[in-house]
């Protein structure tokens, strides 16, 4: 039976950067599409009134979208309310209950540091605002397996699992949605999407900038916890999962969990860590820090479909360019009919996530001339981004409707840490690399997919 939609959105951390840069622009877009018609109650420590919150929201929306449709913003402003107070003060939650009015099925969005989750959840429980409510929380979901399990226990003291929405905004990106759709909407992929035809998979997330003033935060997490254990692991799962047996929105989570269970625990021998030159001079970074700003991993999915196929993930800061893309490399033809070098390039599928979404097929064709000599070409489809739905727009809307397909379930959140915990605890060496390079050259010499890494190009 379909659960009723939430009748209010309570935004904890309403004055923070996330709300300013992402959440208020998403709410503005939702209202423009007719997907938001419930009160939005901001809660934060700052002693503001609702007019100041409206001004903050308007500024954030203007920076995100450019010209603001004032009529549409006026409708959003009419939905806004504000509660100022300390989360450790139960009086704050009493004021929240009054501001909610007749709302009985709120969605509480915790856009606050994880250290405040337990405090806010207890306050909601004690004031009666948790009854019939949903809860949406931001990553990072724990720092390791132990902390993830503790956090799940805290959540379940008050909320049922079906009412908890653990958000990874990366899954809400249009390009990631397109990857999932492309996998299961095109029948020609299925015969080759297995260990018999796929030689390797590589996923690269390259950033051409450093920590950008977030040194203190980054020095507590590093590249693996920041983007690999969540964002890029979800990409791997979408590539490797089996087709849902029923509707995608009903069975997607089950199939994702099956893949996570099949991923072999990461070995320290299957991990390379690097740190860009000058990282330790960044504000907030500890001297002698061994936190990685670059990571390359080799993972294996021990399933019938993928046994023996290596999945490589590479992510780092201060690399030559900013791009995220996936390469699914196919095996070479079994017979070399044209006598070309056996080490020549083979077919592949390339999915570009950013900066421009595209899907491409790497193929061989005859090069012009008398001889039967081939050359590599790419057949590609580009997306200009027109009409794309922003991640927070999609995910907030889903949570308000109670659709948890794109969110992380409890078992998935813990299994993901099981994969990475031993390697993270092993303190593998960290090699320095030059900014503008593709990571620590010496450490990466013998760490690459068959036929080598494919470096994204502009």
Residue with tokens 């935060």: 217
Answer positive or negative: Cα dihedral of 285, 288, 293, 299: negative
Q: Which of 58, 143, 169, 231 is catalytic?
A: 231
Cα gap 91→98, rounded to integer Å: 11
Q: Which residues of 180-199 are buried (b: 16+ CB within 10 A; e: fewer)?
A: beebeeeeeeeeebeeeebb
33, 38, 44, 47 alpha-carbon torsion, rounded to 10° = 100
For 443, other C-beta atoms within 10 Å of its C-beta total: 19
Helix (H/G/I), strand (E/B), else coil: 219: helix
Sort strands 430-433 and 271-276 into parallel, antiparallel or unpaired.
parallel
Q: Beta partners for 298? A: 312
Long-range contacts, stretch 114-120, CB < 8 angstroms, 24+ apart: 114/140, 114/141, 114/142, 114/151, 116/12, 116/87, 117/151, 117/154, 117/155, 118/154, 119/87, 119/88, 120/12, 120/87
Cα gap 364→379, rounded to integer Å: 10
108 is catalytic: no
Residues involved in catalysis: 231
């Amino acid at each position: 039976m379909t659960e009723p939609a939430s009748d209010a959105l309570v935004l904890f951390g309403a004055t923070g950067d996330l709300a300013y840069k992402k959440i208020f622009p998403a709410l503005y877009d939702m209202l423009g599409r007719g997907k938001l018609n419930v009160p939005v109650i901001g809660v934060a420590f700052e002693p503001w009134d609702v007019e100041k919150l409206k001004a903050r929201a308007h500024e954030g929306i203007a920076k995100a979208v450019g010209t603001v449709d004032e009529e549409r913003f006026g409708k959003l402003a009419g939905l806004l309310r504000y509660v100022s107070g300390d989360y450790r003060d139960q009086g704050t939650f009493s004021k929240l209950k009054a501001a909610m009015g007749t709302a009985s099925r709120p969605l509480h969005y915790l856009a606050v540091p994880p250290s405040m989750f337990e405090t806010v959840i207890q306050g909601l429980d004690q004031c009666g605002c948790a009854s019939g409510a949903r809860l949406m929380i931001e990553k990072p979901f724990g720092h390791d397996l132990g902390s993830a399990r503790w956090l799940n226990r805290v959540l379940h003291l008050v909320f049922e699992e079906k009412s908890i929405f653990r958000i990874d905004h990366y899954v809400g990106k249009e390009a990631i949605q397109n990857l999932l759709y492309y996998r299961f909407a095109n029948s020609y992929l299925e015969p080759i999407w297995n260990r018999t035809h796929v030689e390797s998979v590589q996923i690269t997330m390259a950033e051409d900038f450093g920590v950008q003033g977030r040194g203190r935060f980054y020095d507590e997490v590093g590249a693996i916890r920041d983007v690999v254990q969540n964002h890029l692991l979800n990409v791997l799962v979408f590539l490797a999962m089996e087709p849902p047996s029923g509707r995608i929105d009903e069975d997607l989570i089950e199939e994702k969990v099956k893949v996570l269970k099949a991923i072999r625990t990461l070995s320290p021998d299957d991990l390379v860590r690097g740190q860009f030159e000058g990282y330790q001079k960044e504000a907030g970074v500890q001297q002698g820090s061994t936190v990685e700003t670059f990571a390359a991993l080799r993972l294996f999915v021990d399933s019938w479909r993928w046994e023996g196929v290596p999945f490589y993930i590479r992510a780092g800061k201060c690399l030559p360019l900013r791009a995220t893309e996936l390469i699914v490399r196919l095996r070479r033809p079994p017979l070399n009919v044209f006598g070309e070098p056996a080490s020549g390039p083979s077919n592949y599928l390339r999915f570009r996530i950013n900066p421009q979404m595209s899907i491409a097929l790497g193929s061989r064709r005859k090069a012009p001339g008398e001889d039967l000599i081939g050359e590599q070409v790419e057949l590609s489809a580009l997306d200009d981004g027109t009409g794309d739905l922003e991640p927070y727009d999609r995910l907030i809307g889903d949570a308000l409707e109670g659709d948890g397909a794109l969110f992380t379930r409890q078992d998935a959140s813990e299994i993901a840490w099981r994969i990475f915990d031993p390697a993270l605890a092993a303190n593998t060496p960290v090699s320095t690399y030059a900014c503008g390079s593709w990571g620590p050259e010496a450490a990466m010499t013998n760490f690459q997919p068959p036929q080598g890494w494919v470096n994204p190009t502009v």
